[in-house]
Structure 1
């Protein structure tokens, strides 16, 4: 079964974007440093994005993931995609990802945002979290986490800290707890 990895940067105060959706607060990496991004990318062959995340990425210029299959979840697909590798999905994300995980392939990169990640986390469809904590407080914005109905135990796989203060927290999600109701 393929694994789903939420690989994302967050401010120290828990935001993935400014209130307007921008990520201009993210620092540029030092010369020659990519925080392991290129290595991670070699494991992935698909991405999962919410519509707002997709639209933000399209403002950066050329589509950055042309060799991956990119699934964008939206209620209203635009008329055309930024790149032929992009597919717009109007199905329920949890059902779609459950089926996608059963297909052959590499890692499925859950890029964001939190509106898409929350139901996938709640249904136990995210296998690992790779959180890059940026040493900045931005005060307000789009939160990394949305409300969850139950606790999610995590198992720390590794940490890494770079000289500029960027810190990776890499977790595997433990078995999903029993729900009561």
Structure 2
């Protein structure tokens, strides 16, 4: 079975995915945080690949491996899966199980090669520019949007002006106790 490429993003009602630290906390231990951690574990169980750009990779590499008693399961997942980081400058990823994809003109071809291999899902999170590029290239099989009931009015959006996606089918909608809604769309 070939792999699917899935984009998972935390997003505000006005489309912002850039986290300024005020609206999303991946270590939230509230009831909603525990619910979101549970669905994240469900999604993680179906994947064996993690794809990010360099900035997101470096942020995650500095944060997740240092978590002790991580109840979300993210640390264990990230340490276990094959990680792919797109970067033209990163030489030593310094995180076991990481492959650097040097991108360039053939990035989409490199991603298609990864998804053509046997395996489970490859999940991209954060990495706004990379997500936008892969959406535009038509290589994304599913969008998982955790929509937070927040309007920021500013910040980087997943869908910049001019983005067109018309071939989406709603696969799931699930509401959580604190008002977050998961919307899963397939292409």
TM (normalized to structure 2)?
0.81
Which residue is 1:178 aligned to? Answer: none
Q: Gaps spanning 5+ residues in structure 1: where? A: 174-181
1:106 has 2:107 as partner: no
Change in 2 beyond 3 A, CA 1:160/1:29: farther
Q: Which residue of 1 aligns with 2:30?
A: 30
Match of 1:141 in 2: 155
Counterpart in the other structure of 1:123: 137
Q: Say if 1:159 and 1:112 are closer, same or farther in 2 by CA, change over 3 A.
A: same
Task: Encode CA deviations 1:68-98: one digit per residue, 9 max, x unaligned.
Answer: 1111101111x43241112211033211111
Q: Give 2:170's aligned residue.
A: 156
Mapped contact 1:5–1:127 kept (Cα < 8 A) = yes
- Classify 1:135/1:83 alpha carbon distance in 2 versus 1 (closer, same or farther; 3 Å): same
RMSD: 2.0
Query: What is the aligned length?
Result: 169
Query: Gaps spanning 5+ residues in structure 2: where?
Result: 67-74
For the Cα contact (< 8 Å) 2:132–2:158, is it kept in 1? no
> Against the structure 1 CA distance between its residues 105 and 73, is the aligned structure 2 distance closer, same or farther, given a 3 Å change threshold?
same
- The residue aligned with 2:71 is none
Displacement of 1:24 in angstroms is 4.8
Q: Could you tell me how far 1:147 is from its partner in structure 2?
A: 5.4
CA distance in 1, matches of 2:45, 2:39: 10
Aligned to 1:49: 52
Q: TM-score, normalised by structure 1?
A: 0.83
Describe the superposition over 1:141-168 as per-residue Cα deviations: whole angstroms up to 9, x where unpaired. Answer: 2211245564432100110001200100
| Mapped partners of 2:49, 2:10: distance in 1 | 18
Structure (1/2) with the larger strand percentage: 1
CA contact (8 A) 1:17 1:23 kept: no
Match of 2:79 in 1: 66
